[in-house]
A and B are shown apart, each in its own frame.
Chain A
Amino acid sequence: MMGTASGGANPQTEAPRKHPDSASRVYDGEAFIVLPQSHQYKILNQVGTRVWELIDGTRTVDDMANIIASEYEVSIETAHKDVSDFISDLKENGMLANSDNGKVA
């Protein structure tokens, strides 16, 4: 799974985007995310919050993994796996925009 998000997306080109209906704020370093489409709340831990902040529709999974590796002093391999797994979780929870033209728009 290292470096590969679910659904076979390419970590070098996949640039996830937050679900357009989601709303979020960061409180005490933890992102509180409201999902109107599923009537749910989610709370992320500090590292998950950092990834959530990095998701902007332009950064790829690779880009984010590199940033996490440098900021949290973990290996590139570990960061790639964790960021990819995390992005998969976000998708499964309906927190990211749907695919568009072969990319996660």
Chain B
Amino acid sequence: MPTELMPGPGNAYAELVARSWNKSLPMTALWEITYACNHKCAFCYNCPERGRRELSKEQIITSLSKIADLGCVFLVLSGGEPLTRPDFFDIAWASKRLGFAIRVYTNGYLIDEVVARRFKELMPFEIEISFHGSNPESMDKLTGVPGSFERVIQGIKLLRKYDLKVNMKCPITKWNQGELRGIRDLAESLGCHAEFDPVITPRDDGDTSPLALQADREFLNKLWSPEYADVTHEEVPVPRNDTLVEANCGTGRSTLAIDPYGNIYPCVQWRRSAGNITEVEDLRALWLHSPVLNEVRRIAMEIPKTTLKSCDSGEFCSFCPGVAEVQTGDPRNLYPQVRMNAEIKKQRHSEFLAIQSKTPA
């Protein structure tokens, strides 16, 4: 009877995640515990409010139990650069004591032997490190910090020495689009997994200047072709499957996001505040019944039936209503970069099917 251990992730995990989405009960909370950062990435979307005080360690630790009561099992400590807070490990340990599995999003620049050892004691589930180039010139150009490549590589080596799981996350830009294989090979040589994200977003205040760094169309044409299958792990772009979850995405459902001032958002991308974590008494009631979040969820459910249906390449759209709102003023509007990616993916998909239909069985 009781023994029914199932190795995950597998179907049981996928079903659990789908149930959590459909009930709007997030398994993950992402907390940007500071906007302070020691890198000056050209495409960063954070917009600190000048002169506004970020939450203190005590305010954060006091609020963590509300997130635990909501039922989140994963807590992402993000930023800015979370390690610039001298009380980072106090916050992380308080999180661990509340039973969270901790993920850390960091640029890795401040990880030395002492910090790596403290991470080993903490034992986070994983550490995700932003990484931007296969060599010092391209990486340092994107971070705006000379020497960042060498420092971050050293930090990753220290974490790996202690057998900590490290993912290297690379936003694809026109500055590093030719280096993806080099970055992947570097990650593998360090015992890490590299993840590439072709989406560059506007800043949270609507400033679209980061979009000038987007990978160009010629490159994206290659990225979504079999030529880059060794990087994308997809022979061919796969259409959306909107049958498991009746919404465009997990906004308001899968991940609660909190900024350094305590504002609660439906996800990290869509900055409609539903309240402040330091003021709310019953976070579960707020999350499930807030008019702001109810509207966000309603819009997210409409999008597959409206916005995506009206787009010729809708089934290939990785549409983000948060980006749509900040860039166009309406969360339902298609924006140029999602349209371009979807068109390319659809074309690549059609070409693949055409080749398949000509290939003898």
Contact = CB atoms under 8 A, between A and B. Distances in A.
Chain A, interface size category, equals 20 to 34
Contacts of B5: 42, 44, 48, 89-90, 93
A32 B73 CA distance: 8
B161 to A, nearest CB: 16
Interface string B23-56: 0010100000000000000000000000000000
B73 A47 contact: no
B125 A27 contact: no
Interface string B1-14: 11111111100110
14 contacts: A23-B99, A27-B71, A34-B125, A36-B102, A39-B125, A41-B9, A41-B13, A42-B7, A43-B13, A47-B4, A50-B2, A51-B2, A78-B1, A90-B5
Nearest to A18: B99
Chain B contact residues: helix, strand, loop or mixed: loop
Interface of A: 21, 23-25, 27-28, 30, 32, 34, 36-37, 39-45, 47-48, 50-51, 68, 72, 74, 78, 82-83, 85-86, 89-90, 93
A90 B165 CA distance: 22
Chain A contact residues: helix, strand, loop or mixed: mixed
Nearest to B8: A41
* 8 closest cross-chain pairs (CB), A and B: A41-B8, A23-B101, A34-B101, A45-B4, A47-B2, A25-B73, A36-B125, A48-B2
Chain B, interface size category, equals 20 to 34
B179 interface: no
B1 A25 contact: no
A74 B1 CA distance: 10
B16 A72 contact: no
A21 B4 contact: no
Contacts of A36: 101-102, 123-126, 165
B74 A82 contact: no
Given A27-B19, A27-B20, A34-B74, A68 B6 contact: no
